[in-house]
């Protein structure tokens, strides 16, 4: 997956989404193509039309930070989109080296999530593959799969693949379209950081071929760093739940993230999680006393 082609696609899509009046220009009637013209965007960014055209065509890979920042301002990009643009436009020599050996969860991270017996937790790799989960995390997001599946690369589930291609996972989310957009937005950020990653390219190719919904979302190039929020779920064992999620990113360059789910105290969702834990036989002693 070429970052230069990704850069050109991102610039074209964001330029096409802007109307002249959005950036203070006068719109002189009907246009042959939607959005701003290249020369208009170049003028707003203070660069030559020739140079900007080369960027969109993937013919320039050493744009300065000042130029990229100017283009980001001209396109009215938000914080996540701006970071994505810098990742795409950064010279290849400064990019992280892509992992070539099978990834695995750190022992300390595994001990951490296992200690959170009643808080669902899932450890994700950079491509949204599941590296590990605790018992209640497994029961919440993929109870129909083998608990040991993340232990081997050959059987390792992938949260994005399951969301689009696994009907059990699809039925888990009451607002599936919202969840799908969130997943693709996060995956697009990874695409900006991944260089020469055949596994990532294979994942995108598989999803594009097998899911029209994924293909349409991917073509829109949404970008968002989804670190927290609310998920509306319908679990086959405990029913409807509104769960908060938090994503903790590892401070190293592994790209690992811990996805955790919580509920408001004494809420129906908290009771549902307690029931889910009891089904898994992992209630704490205090919870057993309360339940009795």
Any domain includes 242: yes
- Assess whether 151 and 284 both reside in one domain: yes
Of the three residues 43, 61, 94, the one that is the final residue of a domain is: 94
Any domain includes 78: yes
Q: Is the pLDDT of residue 241 over 70?
A: yes
- Assess whether 32 and 128 both reside in one domain: no
- Assess whether 213 and 285 both reside in one domain: yes
The arithmetic mean of pLDDT across residues 109-138, rounded, is 94
Residue 279 or residue 157, greater confidence: 157
Of the three residues 94, 117, 144, the one that is the final residue of a domain is: 94
- Assess whether 35 and 138 both reside in one domain: no
The arithmetic mean of pLDDT across residues 224-237, rounded, is 94
Q: Which residues of 18-49 are buried (b: 16+ CB within 10 A; e: fewer)?
A: beeeebeeeeeeeeeeebbebebbbbbbebee
| Band of pLDDT at residue 94, cut at 50, 70 and 90 | very low
- Assess whether 41 and 66 both reside in one domain: yes
What HEC string does 11-78 produce? HHHHHHCCCHHHHCCCCCCCCCCCCCCHHHHHHHHCCCHHHHHHHHCCCCCCCCHHHHHHHHHHCCCC
- Assess whether 141 and 284 both reside in one domain: yes
- Assess whether 146 and 193 both reside in one domain: yes
Distance CA 71, CA 81 (A): 12
Residue 25 or residue 171, greater confidence: 171
pLDDT in tens, 44-79: 888 888 888 888 887 776 778 888 888 998 898 988
CATH of the domain at 162: 3.30.450.180
Give the mean pLDDT of the chain.
85
- Give residue 245's pLDDT: 97
User: Are 45 and 11 contacting, i.e. CB atoms less than 8 angstroms apart?
Assistant: no
- Assess whether 207 and 283 both reside in one domain: yes
Residue 242 or residue 4, greater confidence: 242
Residue of 270, 193, 280, 260 lying closest to 7 (CA atoms): 193
Q: Is the pLDDT of residue 27 over 90?
A: no
Any domain includes 218: yes
- Assess whether 87 and 171 both reside in one domain: no
Any domain includes 277: yes
Half-sphere exposure of 151 (CA within 13 A, CB side): 6
- Give residue 22's pLDDT: 77
CATH of the domain at 12: 1.10.260.40
- Give residue 167's pLDDT: 95
Any domain includes 102: no
- Give residue 179's pLDDT: 96
Any domain includes 236: yes
Q: Is the pLDDT of residue 178 over 70?
A: yes
Phi, psi of 54 (to 5 degrees): -65, -40
- Assess whether 213 and 77 both reside in one domain: no
DSSP code, position 230: E
Domains: count for the chain = 2
Distance CA 153, CA 201 (A): 16
Any domain includes 99: no
Any domain includes 252: yes
- Assess whether 270 and 142 both reside in one domain: yes
Please say whether the dihedral angle defined by the alpha carbons of residues 51, 54, 59 and 60, taken in this order, is positive or negative.
Answer: positive
Of the three residues 34, 63, 94, the one that is the final residue of a domain is: 94
Distance CA 121, CA 116 (A): 8
In percent, how much of the chain has pLDDT > 70? 86
What range does the domain containing 48 cover? 3-94
- Assess whether 277 and 187 both reside in one domain: yes
């Amino acid at each position: 997956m070429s970052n230069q082609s990704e850069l050109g696609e991102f610039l074209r899509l964001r330029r096409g989404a802007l109307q002249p009046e959005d950036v203070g220009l006068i719109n002189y009637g009907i246009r042959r193509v939607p959005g701003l013209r290249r020369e208009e965007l170049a003028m707003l960014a203070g660069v030559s039309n020739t140079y900007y055209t080369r960027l969109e065509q993937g013919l320039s890979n050493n744009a300065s930070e000042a130029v990229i920042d100017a283009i980001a301002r001209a396109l009215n990009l938000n914080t996540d989109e701006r970071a994505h643009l810098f990742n795409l436009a950064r010279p290849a020599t400064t990019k992280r080296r892509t992992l070539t050996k099978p990834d695995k969860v750190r022992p300390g991270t595994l001990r951490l999530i296992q200690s959170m017996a009643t808080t669902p937790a899932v450890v994700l790799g950079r491509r949204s593959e599941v590296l590990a989960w605790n018992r209640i995390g497994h029961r919440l997001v993929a109870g129909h799969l083998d608990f040991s599946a993340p232990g081997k690369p050959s059987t390792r589930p992938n949260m994005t693949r399951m969301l689009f291609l696994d009907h059990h996972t699809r039925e888990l989310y009451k607002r599936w379209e919202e969840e799908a957009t969130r997943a693709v937005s996060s995956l697009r950020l990874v695409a900006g950081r991944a260089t020469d990653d055949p596994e990532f390219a294979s994942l995108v190719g598989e999803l594009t071929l097998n899911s029209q919904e994924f293909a349409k979302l991917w073509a829109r190039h949404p970008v968002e760093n989804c670190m927290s929020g609310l998920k509306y779920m319908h679990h086959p064992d405990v029913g409807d739940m509104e769960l908060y999620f938090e994503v903790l990113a590892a401070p190293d360059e592994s790209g690992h993230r811990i996805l955790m789910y919580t509920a408001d105290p004494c809420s129906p969702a908290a009771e549902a999680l307690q029931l889910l834990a009891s089904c898994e036989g992992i209630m704490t002693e205090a919870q057993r006393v309360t339940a009795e």
